[in-house]
Amino acid sequence: MKRNRKKYSKPCTAVLAAATAFVFTGCGSYGIQAYQSTDIAMGTVVTQTIYAAGGEEQGEGITGDILRLLRNLEQEKLSWRISMSELAQINESAGQEAGHGLSEDMEEYLAEILAAARVSGGAFDPTLGKVTKLWNIDGWTVGGQGEIPPAKEIQALLEHTGYEKVNIRDHRIYMEADTSLDLGAAGKGIASDEIKAFLEEESKVSGAVISVGGSILTYGQKPDGTPWQIGITDPQNPGSSLGKLSLEGSWCVSTSGDYERYVEIDGIRYHHILDPSTGYPADSGIRGVTILSKSGILSDILSTACFVAGKEKALELAELYEAELLLVTEGGEIVMTEGMKACFTPYTS
C-alpha cells in the first residue's frame, strides 16, 4: 500500500468560488469522460465518479474493479463476521499462546491503529469488538429500534478491552483471551488508501471522487481544472450541508457523526461511536467531526478518535497528526483548524 504519512502539503492553494457541490458533468475535454456508479460494498453505499479516457466499457471496467477490490478487502481482511477473513481468524486466536501470523497489509494497518489508540489515550479503541456486538450496532437501521444492553454485561466486557491487551511481535499478533477486534472505525479509510494505490497504477484515470460510507477519496484532477467540491453534512440536519470543501488533487476526507448510525430508545438517541471508558455512546459534546488528510486510514481513525476525545483533545490530535479538522459541537458551534478554514466555504441560509 502506498501512503504518504509524514509531511503533508496544504490541501488547497486558495478558496475558490462555488461550483455546484458534488455534481459532475458527463464529458470533459481531451477525450476524458466521466463515469458514475452507486453500489453497496463493505456494508455501506459506495458512489464513484471516475474521469478517464476511453469508451464506456473502460469506465465500467474501472468502477467494477474498484468494487471487487472493496469486496475482497472486506471478505479477505476486515470483516469480523466472515469466518475466513484475516480479522475473524485473529479474533479466533485470542488467548492462544501461538498467536496468529499477520499479512504485511494487516500488520501495517494494525501498527497505525494501535499507535493511534495509545496516542488518543484509548479514545480510539480497536478492541471494542465484543462491546459493539453486544450493542448490535451492525444490526441497527438509522433511527430504528434497539435495546440497551444490561450494564453488568457491558462492564464485564470492558474487562477485556484496551490496546494493551494486544501485542505484535515478529509479524504475529497475540491477544488476551476474550479480547476481540472491530476495525469498523478504520476500514473505510483503509479502503480509500487501497483505491488510491489502485488508481495510481491505472494510468487511464485522470481524476476520481469515490465515497465509501463516511470516507471520501479525491484523486487527481477534474478535466476542467476546477477543484473537487465536497459537501460537509450538517449534523443537526443531516439532509443538508453546512458548507463545502474545495480541494486540489488527492485527499481523504472522513466524517464521524452521531446521525450516521443510531437507534432511539425511550426518546434518547444511542449512536454508534462508543466511549471505551464507559462502553456507552460517547457524550463528548460533539455531533460530527470531519478530518482531511493524505492518508485514508488516519483520516478515518482520527474522525472517530476526535469524536470521542472532545474538542480540546481533538484539536491536539489533529495537530499531532498534521491533519485538518472541522467539528460541530452540540451547541452548533463549528470549530476548524487553519488549513480547514482555507478550504471551507459555509453555506449561508
Stretch that binds ligand AMP, among 42-50, 202-210, 222-230, 273-281 (CB under 6 A): 273-281
133 by DSSP, 3-state: which? helix
Q: Which one among 28, 99, 214, 243 touches ligand AMP, defined by CB under 6 A?
A: 214
Q: Which residues, numbered 135-164, are part of the site for ligand AMP (CB under 6 A)? A: 137
Q: How far apart are CA 241 and CA 230, in angstroms?
A: 10
Residue 71 — φ and ψ, nearest 5°?
-65, -40
Stretch that binds ligand AMP, among 61-69, 168-176, 269-277, 333-341 (CB under 6 A): 269-277
- Give the number of residues in contact with ligand AMP, rule: CB under 6 A: 20
Residue 27 grid cell: 464529458
Q: Which one among 185, 232, 291, 343 touches ligand AMP, defined by CB under 6 A?
A: 185
Q: Is 273 in the site for ligand AMP (CB under 6 A)?
A: yes
Q: How far apart are CA 107 and CA 168, in angstroms?
A: 8
Q: Which residues, numbered 229-258, are part of the site for ligand AMP (CB under 6 A)? A: 256
Collect all residues with Cβ–Cβ distance below 8 Å to 180 and sequence separation of at least 6.
80, 91, 94, 127, 129, 130, 133, 160
Q: Is 206 in the site for ligand AMP (CB under 6 A)?
A: no
Q: Is 317 in the site for ligand AMP (CB under 6 A)?
A: no
Q: Which one among 128, 210, 263, 325 touches ligand AMP, defined by CB under 6 A?
A: 128
Strand residue runs (E) in the chain: 32-41, 44-53, 100-101, 166-169, 172-175, 205-212, 215-220, 228-234, 237-247, 251-257, 262-265, 268-271, 274-275, 280-281, 286-293, 324-329, 334-336, 344-346
Q: Is 78 in the site for ligand AMP (CB under 6 A)?
A: no
**Shortest separation between residue 336's beta carbon and ligand AMP, angstroms:** 19
Q: Which one among 74, 86, 112, 125 touches ligand AMP, defined by CB under 6 A?
A: 125
Q: Which one among 124, 163, 219, 251 touches ligand AMP, defined by CB under 6 A?
A: 124
207 by DSSP, 3-state: which? strand
Residue 194 — φ and ψ, nearest 5°?
-70, -40
Residue 216 grid cell: 471520501
| Residue 319 CB coordination number (10 Å) | 11
| Site residues, Mg ion (CB under 5 A) | 185, 300, 303-304
| Site residues, ligand AMP (CB under 6 A) | 124-126, 128, 132, 137, 182, 184-185, 214, 256, 260, 272-274, 276, 300, 303-304, 308
